[in-house]
């Protein structure tokens, strides 16, 4: 079978870019990536500093104000007291703008910060593809649990189970 020269020329650049487009998620035991992003107030958050101590959850969601993303955020909001008692810090991340994140946080009275990852730098650092729904739990700066197909309605329940499975919730 004869190869099409035009097809080969067109596909060559794509094959070179493919590995860069498909990044692997952080492995358990990895440190928090040294990356920053703007929160819903337009302030810079340095993740490795924010996640240096205690339990810290960073969860990725595709779009603010959609059904699944709202359910996911509200699941964590509704369990905020219990998660806070365990010493957990939460950051939500989506490709939405600072303004959209601010409006989403206000409308649903979310007690945790949301990060605007409009250029997908945070997603790339975590190996989380754009518009994905994933969650990463750190303790003292090291990844201890991840959910690469994070739930919407049971996100908080899944995180609480992960923390409780460690048997050490007294981190303060």
Q: Which residues contact 95 (CB under 8 A, 6 or more apart)?
A: 62, 63, 116, 117, 118, 120, 123, 130, 131
pLDDT category, 166, cuts 50, 70, 90?
Answer: confident
Residue range 111-162, pLDDT digits in tens:
999 999 999 999 999 999 989 999 999 999 999 999 999 888 899 999 999 9
Domains in the chain and their CATH numbers? 25-166 (3.40.30.10)
Q: How far from the centroid of its chain's Cα atoms is residue 112's Cα? A: 13
Helix (H, G, I), strand (E, B) or coil at 157: helix
Asked if the model's pLDDT at residue 4 lies above 90, the reply is no
pLDDT, residue 23, reads 72
Residue 95 · residue 117 · CB < 8 Å: yes
Mean pLDDT value across the chain: 86
Residue range 26-43, pLDDT digits in tens:
999 999 999 999 999 999
Asked if the model's pLDDT at residue 59 lies above 80, the reply is yes
Please list the alpha-helical segments (H only) found in the chain. 5-21, 47-50, 67-78, 80-85, 98-107, 121-126, 155-166
Residue whose tokens read 């303004």: 99
Query: How confident is the model over 54-58, as a mean pLDDT?
Result: 94
Residue 10's alpha-carbon distances to 4, 21, 25, 53, 96, in angstroms, are 10, 17, 29, 48, 32
pLDDT, residue 5, reads 53
Mode of pairing for the β-strands spanning 44-46 and 36-39: antiparallel
- Which of 4, 7, 56, 69 is catalytic? The answer is 69
Active site residue 74: no
pLDDT category, 22, cuts 50, 70, 90?
Answer: low
């Amino acid at each position: 079978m004869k190869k099409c020269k035009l097809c080969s020329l067109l596909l060559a650049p794509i094959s070179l870019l493919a590995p860069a487009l498909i990044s692997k998620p952080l492995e358990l035991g990895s440190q928090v990536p040294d990356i920053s992003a703007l929160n819903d107030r337009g302030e810079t958050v340095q993740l490795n500093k924010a996640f240096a101590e205690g339990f810290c959850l960073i969860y990725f969601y595709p779009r603010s104000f959609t059904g699944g993303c709202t359910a996911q955020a509200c699941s964590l909001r509704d369990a905020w007291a219990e998660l806070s008692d365990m010493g957990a810090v939460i950051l939500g991340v989506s490709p939405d703008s600072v303004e959209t994140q601010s409006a989403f946080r206000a409308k649903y009275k979310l007690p945790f910060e949301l990060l605007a990852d409009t250029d997908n730098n945070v997603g790339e650092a975590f190996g989380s593809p754009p518009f994905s729904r994933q969650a990463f739990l750190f303790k003292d700066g090291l990844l201890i649990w991840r959910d690469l197909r994070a739930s919407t309605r049971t996100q908080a329940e899944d995180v609480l189970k992960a923390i409780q499975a460690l048997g050490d919730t007294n981190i303060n």
